Amino acid sequence: AASLHAAMAAGHSVELPGITSVATSLGAKRVAEQALACTRQHPVVSHLVSDREALDACERLLRDHRLLVEPACGAALALLEHPEAVAAFGNVLVIVCGGATATLEQIRAWREAC
């Protein structure tokens, strides 16, 4: 996700020095050219959230809905904490999946490290 965001900002494909997020399933040092091309053909908006926001969203979903998800899913959920990022859209759908790769203890340890 960070590589797509960086490429959109630069207007061309870029390579990140590394993947630093705990949401490793979203990680790619360089976004696929087809994905970047898609952002030019469709109205795509990129918004980065911090690891802490993603991890907080994981715990919030667990508390509110008794569903544990991994940080990649938490990143999508964290966007809902940024009303300015979704205000232009009438209906917002967040796909909630994942969780087999993270335990609550891991999520809390990652958040402590942020």
pLDDT tens sequence across 33-81? 999 999 999 999 899 999 999 999 999 999 999 999 999 999 999 999 9
Sign of CA dihedral 35, 37, 38, 39: positive
CA torsion 2-112-61-78 (nearest 10°) is: -30
Query: What is the distance between the alpha carbons of residues 29 and 17, in angstroms, rounded to a whole number?
Result: 7
| Spatial contact of 16 and 30, defined as CB atoms under 8 Å apart | yes
| Spatial contact of 48 and 1, defined as CB atoms under 8 Å apart | yes
pLDDT of 99 > 80? The answer is no
Give this prediction's pTM: 0.87
Q: Where are the domains of the chain?
A: 2-41, 51-113
